[in-house]
Structure 1
Amino acid sequence: MKPPRQLHRASPRTRSLRRPAAAITALALAAAAALTATVGAGSASAATVPVGLGSYSDSRPAGTVGPTNSDGAPVTPKVTARMAGKAAPTNDWWSSLIYQRYAGNPYSENLYAHPFTFKAAAGGLEVGYPTTPTVTSDGRQYDFTHTRDLTLGVAGLNSPDTKVDGWSDWTVTPYWADGAHTFSATIGHGLPYVYAHATGGAAQVTAAGTPTVFSNQGNVLGITVGGHNYGLFAPTGTSWTVNGSTLSAALGAKDYYSVAVLPSQADLALFRTYAYSFVTDTKVTWSYQAANGTLSTTYTATTTPQEGSQTGTLLALYRHQWLATGDALTSLTYTSPRGQMKVRQGSGFTTVQSVGGVLPSLPDVGSYDRAALAAYVRDQANASDPFLAATDTYWTGKALGRLAQLVPIADQLGDAATRDKLLGLIKGKMQTWFTGGGSPGFAYDSTWKTLIGYPASYGTDAELNDHHFHYGYFVQAAATVARYDSAWAADSAWGGMVKLLAKDAANSDRTDTRFPLLRNFDPYAGQGWASGHEGFAAGNNEESSSESLNFSSGLILYGSATGDGALRDLGIYLYTTEANAVEQYWFDADHAVFPASFGHHTVGMVWGSGAAYSTWWTASPGMIHGINVLPVTGGSLYLARRQDEIKANLAELKANNGGAFTDWRDLLWEFQALADPAAAKANWDSGIGGYTPEEGESKAHTYHWIYNLASLGTLDPAVTADTPTAAVFVNGATRTHVAHNYGTAARAVHFSDGTTLTVPARSTASERGSFQDGGSGGTTGSPSPTPTPTPSPTSTVPATTGNTFYLQAGGALSTAYGAAAAVDTIPSAGGANHDGTPYQAKVYEIRNVSGTLRSGAATDFDLYVDAGTGVGLGQQVRVSYDLTGSGTFSRVETFRYFATDPVTGWERYSGAGAGLLSATGTLGNLDHGTIRVEVWSAIGNGPAQLRVGASQAQGSVSVLRIPFN
């Protein structure tokens, strides 16, 4: 099959299918045409580097290839002398600058930084700001394609190439030189400025057409080109000269200038304030707060003034960022393929996100036929070829993942022999791969600072594609082994090789120069990128976001199983961040990202320029929808946070597919089970006899998954825990708390809804049952009695302390659940707009509250509201804190309103989901303070209902959570 033609700068190149004559899965980058050259084959001097009991080679096997261009010739990182030898950041939004994929283009392909777009050329840097999307004639793809408005450079520049002269976490500095001139430009995600340095001539900006000058202040020029407004800032004491479409400024003894894209002409003065405060470094840091189940991520831009003393800058935040920050934002916005970007004034910002749990497996609560399930498991373990003839890293990884999902099922069934056989198969295969010196095995490329598995596939070698996809399966399988055999996973045994694979795709140690920082993850965009070289007109891309999250959830599980807190927390950062990005950019959960002219509600691929309802190899709707579901594991629970979107996703699939699931039915049933387990169970029951499992799936796992969810119900995403390996499910009035404990001693797991669950060592526990994992060596104990969850005290807790408060009828907040559900009526907005301003609000308050502010925590709530069949209603919440009870509210937080649907039934309005609209004042410790919640109708012509006073057993409990201990 051929990739979409418009995405390639040359003629389309065929991507070979993953498995002939079978339903096939996809990775996110097409491989190049078959390469016949054997570039840099292994030599007699090759050495094996030991890592515990495993090893890798420092030279690839004979007859194999490493990174090459599209003609099959080897390539090296395209960097300046001062960056030589540093780990090249492949798989980034700007990688075509450093990885020359096409022999005829030594500059770059289109670069999508957002809000800017760029392209390097001989005369400098093309700059654009596309604001109008195009949709392909078949309606399958939308793009905000790079279109040049300006070219930035220095007069007379004609460079033979562009090299990279530096990079930071989300910026890059390309560099041009032709012997008489030099030019460099620091550009990056969220930067509305280009920071330029030029020598050998005047600063020169060439417009695509004759610009309109709307402001001329000598060294500061405001122009409009192609309908977009720009500010040009030369050093003080110089001035811009306009000659047709060419704008120039003699720099004299100075070597700097900057250009900004302006939200409007009126913003020129503000942008002048920071025009000479050049961003010289960017850095992301993260912190997991286990006690309150949150992840705090801080984005910091370091600035250096070129003149004056101004510091700080302006940063444009993506939607997944501004939804999660409590930091003040300006009213300025930009258009981007990821929806609206909002501008922050300062040197950085912090986001706080709830950490959704992952489970190593679902608990054993399903009403399945245990004998039939056991037979399905044994069919896989006893197959003549359990690995289905897999030879390369992808298909071997898929097979490892499929078998690993069966291990806990066999254990739950008490079939120790099958469990241990499966573990033996997994260990044996990985140990073969983890022993260097040949193929299969791993080889380190010291030029590109990467570990490549051979036999390779889908360009993991020649293009450095998809390492996180392939290696994620290895890490997940290793996490299963570590759960049952901790000795095997020790660093001194085979665990060192597992961690080395993890480092290749996601190195978080800035002192480890063997690999670039977070190769496959873009910390500012919040998602992975699959192409090693980014050699496309549409920028970089990622197809199977779910395989990216398979990698990060594997890090959580493997880090937890081996006691490596840093690896676990890295996994939490990647998983939490990308889960929120996927929700917005692949599934458009809030219907605020995809252009109105794009007729789809989900996409198979995200590109730098936009997104596509397609895959690399097929137009089958089942595979387009399924590619962002597979593989289904206990790390797939992030997909269940928006059950309404799962239903809409599958409704679109059926509409495009003749009303039925055809390809990958098992994956789609499992996806359906996250939102409607009864329907999924009915589909399984009627379809079990007539389908072939997807290559990474098995009938045993699909049966186990669907029937367990039919008993557990659906995920409650509002409840977090003080461990990342926990989740809560709701089935009618029944709530099931589930947690896994990898430790060697029992521990109490605390859930944010007030429940405490005691989990025995090396076990999964729930209200409904538990089973003991085996100790080192794979042995197992017999099933133990159900651990009884211990709810936190309610009636004895004083009303003056606590961080969880329940809304009660009559306007009270209480640390205890209510006795009986009631309804408060929220008056109509009367057709007016009260967004941000309370109007006839329902008020709930508690006084005499004391508590210590928790670092990095944020206000959150779950309110259950219903507008019946009313249309166009939106309920809104304001939470106010009087820290000392003085009568003055020191901190007031107003959240975005919640648009209710016109269907009778309770809907959950959450603080984390809505995000802050505005906040004033600051938080501190509570000392006999007052907390007030106001709920009103921001828009609409009808009243709404708010559920209050509900007991835990009744469910749908309206609750406020405050960031205090």
Structure 2
Amino acid sequence: MRPPTTPIRRATLMLTAAATALGGVALLPGSASAAEIPVGSGSYSDTRPAGTVGPLDNQGQPVTPQVTDAMAGVPVPTNDWWSSLVFKRYADNPYSQPMYGHPLSYRAVAAGLEVGYPSEAVVNGSSFEYPHRADLVLGVAGLNSPDAKADGWSDWTVSPYWEDAGHTFRATIGHGSPYVYAEATGGAAQITTSAAPEVFADEGSTLGISVGGHDYALFAPTGSDWQVAGSTLTADIGGDGYYSVAVLPDRAALATYEQYAYSFVTGSTVDWNYEQANGAVSATYTLETEAREGTETGTLQALYPHQWSYAADPLTDWEYTSSRGIMRVREGASFTTRQDASGVLPGLPASDGPDRATLAAFVDEVAATANVGVGDTYWSGKAFGRLAQVVPIADQIGDTAARDQILDAIKARLEEWFTAGGETGFVYDSEWQTLTGYPASYGSDQELNDHHFHYSYYVLAAAIVAQYDPAWAAESAWGGMVEELIADAANPARDDDRYPFLRGFDVYAGHSWASGHQGFVAGNNQESSSESTNLSAGLIMWGSATGDTELRDLGIYLLATESEAIRQYWFDGDEENFPPDYQHNTVGMVWSNGGAHATWWTGNPEEIHGINVLPVTGGSLHLARDQDAIDRNLQELVEENGGPPVEWKEILWEFQALSDPAAARASYDGDGGGSYTPEAGESWAHVYHWIYTLDAIGPPDTLITADSPTAAAFSDGGTVTYAAHNYTDAPQNVTFEDGTVLAVPPHSSASSTG
């Protein structure tokens, strides 16, 4: 279903802010006196702390969203595939960086829109890319615009806009679209080619050309005629003011592409639906169209592998090459995917694997040092995550004193973050419609990077608190601030005037993007896909704990979708999407135009492999969907490393335990598990419990789904263990796909071997 456009809590918070403004307090970042905007028991500020900054260009100057007057005040979806159009990272470039819609790539320039079809991979050691090379520049004769701005956007399309003294030009482009839809005034349609084109079809208003080894079709209004003069192509579009261009998968497709050439895409929408009884989630991707001539309102769209693998809709035989693998073409304005929902748990089930005395000692050690110091948003988040993972373990072994001590530490520090005016806190920027935590980190303030990474830890930790203290999580208490962070990073409402729809998550690409400005030749990027799914898991648990099925179902959709994107594009699970001559079977970073076996900070293989695993939580179980990919991943790591890992090894043992827990336990036992300081987001209580539990019950069996999003099955090859958590006030019977029914008491976890 389409999520409601104005959730009650969002409206409540807007009324709170409006009442504050009516009381005489300005709500503008940078105002002379800071205002604290109350949200339940907490608050955020409208003014950055002294000495801090917001979004800047590369010269250190403040930047504002570059949108047309028609879009002024509309929340800007930063962290998207096209964000360089609105966030001008480079002071000397008022247009854009290359933007990769797939199959086409684009770049805004003074004369209009560069268009290319990146169909050839360039492999350079640890990285591969399909670079943007302009075959065409689309515009209007005489256009020389001083800049380009965004004049509209939807879930995966955007409309760049150019204007000078005598011309306007507007293009609509999108993920999966083989077309560019152009609107122009002030002159003839003009297309400049990178070299003199080969004309293979000339039918008046339709022209087929080949440039740079790629076939394109040009469509002017009926009655117009394309004129070719060297590398300049023009058509008189008169009062119609429109034309379209398509990249063809084959010259034989020209007639079909002409059929849809005048059905202009005007918007795009994804609707998701959690099929709880079936343990599945479906999503329908729909393009809105308008017939510029004739009556045809259908269209063509190219699906990524993570989409066509799960779509029952018929596809054509036409294909495109992309940096994500083969894209397959569908006739029609919509298609639907359907996947198993990935179960999450607040913690692994009780078993006879861990030694209770050893585990209790590890838990007490965490409780004795439970502390989240004054740090930045990311490292404070890591500390929250470390503590939160131990709470269910302490509860499981009956150590309620340690459990409550850790919970109190989490709550105390979250409350400090959720209260304006202290050493830490959150600030709302009304120009960029974003909530930034200070102290900021890794460009979360200057570049609007990584909000979904950082806030994932807060949301998941708050969900653990909500499991034991529902009153704390009430919207009127501290839950309101948790939902402010959620709204900033993953707002499900499209018409909210305070935050954009799903800031970080690209619904068509199937995963999130980390860079707020997308200011790279390679497009946008995401490194730690696992910290992105950490937010999705947090949404599932927070929504379940608070009874917010909208946020729960959003998390289910995001997790299922990104899980498959990770399997396909980070781990190349089907071994079909990376270029054939690329020598790695996993990448640390996905870029719009390719991937890199690298991280931002190191070339150490252990961290390249580990960055898409941490944090390991009950939301990591989805990784076990492809155990062969885990095995290949870790085998490559050992080969690169010249032996077993020595850094982040506990993270990698936990990863291995999702496929081969016996081997993970052997590594733990033989390599001093518990004898050194683990990675900052981990504790020995959690590592030991994770490895020894999975060694006892087996890795997750993701083929056995359930009618609860907080349930999972595990199999050791002979015995299946069923586990679930019930967040509600009533007893719950969880039914698994194989017919097993697990009775779960209220506010409890339960497990059984069926």
Which residue of the partner structure matches residue 73 of structure 1? 61
The correspondence of residues 803-882 of structure 1 with structure 2, limited to 5 A, is none
Contact 1:46 1:58 (C-alpha < 8 Å) held by counterparts = yes
Which residue of the partner structure matches residue 94 of structure 2? 106
2:83 to 73, 78, 95: 95
Which residue of the partner structure matches residue 280 of structure 2? 294
1:722 to 704, 707, 711: 707
What is the CA-CA distance between 1:43 and the residue it aligns to?
4.2
| Letter aligned with residue 752 of structure 1 | E
Contact 2:281 2:340 (C-alpha < 8 Å) held by counterparts = yes
Which residue of the partner structure matches residue 294 of structure 2? 308
1:83 to 71, 74, 77: 71
Question: What is the rounded CA distance, in whole Å, between the counterparts of 1:41 and 1:275 in structure 2?
Answer: 45
What is the CA-CA distance between 1:510 and the residue it aligns to?
2.0
1:589 to 566, 573, 577: 573
Question: What is the rounded CA distance, in whole Å, between the counterparts of 1:623 and 1:504 in structure 2?
Answer: 28
Question: What is the rounded CA distance, in whole Å, between the counterparts of 2:321 and 2:30 in structure 1?
Answer: 49
2:677 to 692, 698, 723: 692
Contact 2:381 2:454 (C-alpha < 8 Å) held by counterparts = yes
User: Identity over aligned residues, as a percent?
Assistant: 62
2:183 pairs with 1:189: no
Which residue of the partner structure matches residue 803 of structure 1? none
Which residue of the partner structure matches residue 477 of structure 1? 461
Question: What is the rounded CA distance, in whole Å, between the counterparts of 1:689 and 1:745 in structure 2?
Answer: 39
2:692 pairs with 1:704: no
1:507 to 491, 495, 510: 491
2:517 pairs with 1:529: no
Q: Name which of structure 1's ranges 408-417 and 421-430 shifts more when overlaid on structure 2.
A: 408-417
SS of the residue aligned with 1:715?
coil
Which residue of the partner structure matches residue 153 of structure 2? 167
> Unmatched 5+ residue regions in structure 2?
1-27
The correspondence of residues 618-629 of structure 1 with structure 2, limited to 5 A, is 618-629=602-613
Question: What is the rounded CA distance, in whole Å, between the counterparts of 1:691 and 1:120 in structure 2?
Answer: 52
Question: What is the rounded CA distance, in whole Å, between the counterparts of 1:116 and 1:310 in structure 2?
Answer: 23
Which whole-Å deviations, capped at 9, do the CAs of 1:867-909 have from their partners, x for residues lacking one? xxxxxxxxxxxxxxxxxxxxxxxxxxxxxxxxxxxxxxxxxxx
Which whole-Å deviations, capped at 9, do the CAs of 1:40-99 have from their partners, x for residues lacking one? 985443211111101111121121101111111100000111111110110000000000
Which residue of the partner structure matches residue 21 of structure 2? none
2:117 pairs with 1:129: yes
What is the CA-CA distance between 1:727 and the residue it aligns to?
0.7
**Matched length:** 726
2:255 to 269, 278, 281: 269
2:734 pairs with 1:746: no
Which whole-Å deviations, capped at 9, do the CAs of 1:467-489 have from their partners, x for residues lacking one? 00000000010010011111100
1:180 to 166, 180, 188: 166
Question: What is the rounded CA distance, in whole Å, between the counterparts of 1:119 and 1:450 in structure 2?
Answer: 26
Contact 2:343 2:621 (C-alpha < 8 Å) held by counterparts = yes
Contact 1:170 1:524 (C-alpha < 8 Å) held by counterparts = yes
Question: What is the rounded CA distance, in whole Å, between the counterparts of 1:714 and 1:626 in structure 2?
Answer: 19
Please say which structure displays the higher CA radius of gyration: 1
Question: What is the rounded CA distance, in whole Å, between the counterparts of 1:52 and 1:691 in structure 2?
Answer: 42
Normalised by the length of structure 2, the TM-score is 0.95
SS of the residue aligned with 2:365?
helix
| Letter aligned with residue 434 of structure 2 | T
> Unmatched 5+ residue regions in structure 1?
1-39, 769-788, 790-965
1:204 to 179, 185, 190: 190
Question: What is the rounded CA distance, in whole Å, between the counterparts of 1:689 and 1:49 in structure 2?
Answer: 45
SS of the residue aligned with 2:84?
helix
What is the CA-CA distance between 1:733 and the residue it aligns to?
1.1
SS of the residue aligned with 1:198?
strand
Contact 1:41 1:62 (C-alpha < 8 Å) held by counterparts = no
Which whole-Å deviations, capped at 9, do the CAs of 1:155-200 have from their partners, x for residues lacking one? 1110000011100110000000111111010000001000000111
Contact 1:231 1:268 (C-alpha < 8 Å) held by counterparts = yes
Which whole-Å deviations, capped at 9, do the CAs of 1:660-708 have from their partners, x for residues lacking one? 1111000000000010100101111112255430000011110000000
Which residue of the partner structure matches residue 874 of structure 1? none
| Letter aligned with residue 134 of structure 1 | V
**CA-atom RMSD in angstroms:** 1.1
Contact 2:350 2:751 (C-alpha < 8 Å) held by counterparts = no
What is the CA-CA distance between 1:381 and the residue it aligns to?
1.8
The correspondence of residues 660-699 of structure 1 with structure 2, limited to 5 A, is 660-687=644-671, 688=673, 691-699=676-684
SS of the residue aligned with 2:562?
helix
Higher relative contact order (CA 8 A, sep 6+): 2
Which whole-Å deviations, capped at 9, do the CAs of 1:17-47 have from their partners, x for residues lacking one? xxxxxxxxxxxxxxxxxxxxxxx98544321
Question: What is the rounded CA distance, in whole Å, between the counterparts of 1:737 and 1:252 in structure 2?
Answer: 68
Contact 1:93 1:540 (C-alpha < 8 Å) held by counterparts = yes
SS of the residue aligned with 1:643?
helix
2:223 pairs with 1:237: yes
2:323 to 313, 321, 337: 337
Contact 2:342 2:560 (C-alpha < 8 Å) held by counterparts = yes
What is the CA-CA distance between 1:102 and the residue it aligns to?
0.4
Structure (1 or 2) with the greater helix fraction: 2
| Letter aligned with residue 699 of structure 1 | W
Contact 2:359 2:685 (C-alpha < 8 Å) held by counterparts = yes
Question: What is the rounded CA distance, in whole Å, between the counterparts of 2:69 and 2:699 in structure 1?
Answer: 56
Which residue of the partner structure matches residue 362 of structure 1? 348
Contact 1:211 1:224 (C-alpha < 8 Å) held by counterparts = yes
Q: Name which of structure 1's ranges 150-159 and 503-512 shifts more when overlaid on structure 2.
A: 503-512
Contact 1:366 1:709 (C-alpha < 8 Å) held by counterparts = no
Question: What is the rounded CA distance, in whole Å, between the counterparts of 2:191 and 2:323 in structure 1?
Answer: 26
Contact 2:159 2:172 (C-alpha < 8 Å) held by counterparts = yes
Contact 1:41 1:63 (C-alpha < 8 Å) held by counterparts = no
Which residue of the partner structure matches residue 19 of structure 2? none
Question: What is the rounded CA distance, in whole Å, between the counterparts of 1:689 and 1:711 in structure 2?
Answer: 19
| Letter aligned with residue 714 of structure 1 | P
Question: What is the rounded CA distance, in whole Å, between the counterparts of 1:93 and 1:511 in structure 2?
Answer: 20
Contact 1:553 1:575 (C-alpha < 8 Å) held by counterparts = yes
Which whole-Å deviations, capped at 9, do the CAs of 1:707-741 have from their partners, x for residues lacking one? 00001102111111000111111113111111111
Contact 1:277 1:303 (C-alpha < 8 Å) held by counterparts = yes
| Letter aligned with residue 348 of structure 1 | S
Which residue of the partner structure matches residue 752 of structure 2? 767
Question: What is the rounded CA distance, in whole Å, between the counterparts of 1:609 and 1:697 in structure 2?
Answer: 33
Q: Name which of structure 1's ranges 713-722 and 602-611 shifts more when overlaid on structure 2.
A: 713-722
What is the CA-CA distance between 1:221 and the residue it aligns to?
0.2
2:335 pairs with 1:349: yes
What is the CA-CA distance between 1:125 and the residue it aligns to?
0.3
